[in-house]
Amino acid sequence: MQTPYASEPFLHQLLTKALAANASDIHVKVGQPPGARVRGDMVYFRVDKVKPEDTNALARILLAPRGVDDVGTIKEFDTSYSAPGIGRFRVNVYRQRGALSVVMRTIPIKIPTIEEMGLPPPVKALAEMERGLVLCVGATGSGKTTTLASMINHINLNLPRHIVTIEDPIEFLHNDSRSGVSQREIGIDTESFASALRAALRQDPDVILVGEIRDAETLEIAMQAAETGHLVLSTMHTPDVSRTVHRMMSLAKNPGDLRDRLGDALQGILAQRLIPKRDGTGLQLVQEILIASGTAREAIKKPDQNVPLKDVMEKGVVPYGMQTFDMHLKALAQAGVISKEYTRQGPGF
């Protein structure tokens, strides 16, 4: 008997119900009913528990456009999925306890603007830079991709640029406006971040978006691009500004040399997290912002001879718009947006 998960109409019905509940993610895992994350919490559909044949069938539908016929060999796989009239989704198919599972994250069809996201003025200023490196960092699910998409969208709508994006997978779709946008997907259009980034330097870009800096090779080429007159936007899975710089040093073959180069090429670091709003209506973006002022550049180049980056951010509110997580949390709590308990949980909240 064929499983209902083998049909796209059934999948689309599941996605429609999840989106009607304002779900951010949809989970399909063997041994429990399909679930959805709604306002930060997991809720489950009142249907039968999922079986291995169900997730196998669902994986075949999701991976068919990528040319994957044999899902039995899959350990983990990233892709995207478009459901006409419903929406786009970032997809991760993975194996646990020998069975396949699927997580689908909703991607808004309309790219939110910087203003709609409530991002502070320094974000727009960073998007309008002509050259240098801008990093958006945070844990998985902290909204890094959406922030960078809004920045690319701002450039696309307002500046005459050639933008090259390298993504795994492509999530937000950008239509050419004042800029031309070339979007390349790992595994379909190119082999790796490093190879695509190397090739991008020969594609006459003004702006290069690198989905993630994962290794020393990608870091080195991204630095070269930032140093040679390109604006490079990327992400790292680091929790805050200080640990982002530390992580970059750990990837470098010559940390001392990288400190000098980063001090010159960096334009800014946006670290972010999402926490529940006080009224229960959703999640609030909390950001830590470092702008590469003269003091910040010296603190990166010679940390032993200068104040910590946290002090630089605390004192850089005027004129740069810098802030620490603690500063933003206190402002949000005072405005009644979040509970005051988040101001007492320290940097690891």
pLDDT by residue (tens digit) across 56-88? 999 999 999 888 889 999 999 999 999 999 999
The answer as to whether 115 is a domain residue is no
Domain end marker among 51, 72, 106: 106
Nearest one of 190, 188, 124 to 157, comparing CA atoms: 124
Instruction: Give the CA distances from residue 5 to residues 16, 23, 49, 61, 185, in Å, rounded to whole numbers and listed in that order.
Output: 15, 20, 12, 9, 27
H or E element, residue 328: helix 325-334
The secondary structure of residue 48, as a DSSP letter, is: P
Domain that holds residue 63: 4-106
pLDDT at 141: 87
Do 102 and 227 lie in one domain? The reply is: no
Do 229 and 284 lie in one domain? The reply is: yes
Token pair for 273? 């997290």
Where does residue 319 rank: exposed (0-12), middle (13-18), buried (19+ CB within 10 A)? exposed
Strand pairing partners for 88?
A: 82, 107
Yes or no: say if 77 and 69 are a contact pair by the CB < 8 Å rule: no
pLDDT tens, position by position, 271-327: 999 999 999 888 899 999 999 999 999 999 999 999 999 999 999 999 999 999 999
Residue reference for tokens 């200068």:
306
Residue reference for tokens 């190119």:
190
Domain end marker among 55, 79, 106: 106
The answer as to whether 17 is a domain residue is yes
Domains contained in the chain, number: 2
Which pairing describes strands 35-38 and 23-28: parallel, antiparallel, or unpaired? antiparallel
pLDDT at 65: 85
- The DSSP-derived string for 108-161 is -SSPPPTTTTT--HHHHHHHT-SSEEEEEE-STTSSHHHHHHHHHHHHHHHS--
pLDDT at 39: 81
pLDDT at 280: 85
The gap between the terminal CA atoms of the chain, to the nearest Å, is: 48
pLDDT at 293: 98
Residue reference for tokens 């993630």:
212
Where does residue 61 rank: exposed (0-12), middle (13-18), buried (19+ CB within 10 A)? middle
pLDDT at 282: 82
Kindly give the parts of the chain with pLDDT less than 70: 1, 345-349
Do 74 and 128 lie in one domain? The reply is: no
How many angstroms separate the CA atoms of 246 and 310, rounded? 13
pLDDT at 26: 97
Q: What is the CATH number of the domain that holds 72?
A: 3.30.450.90
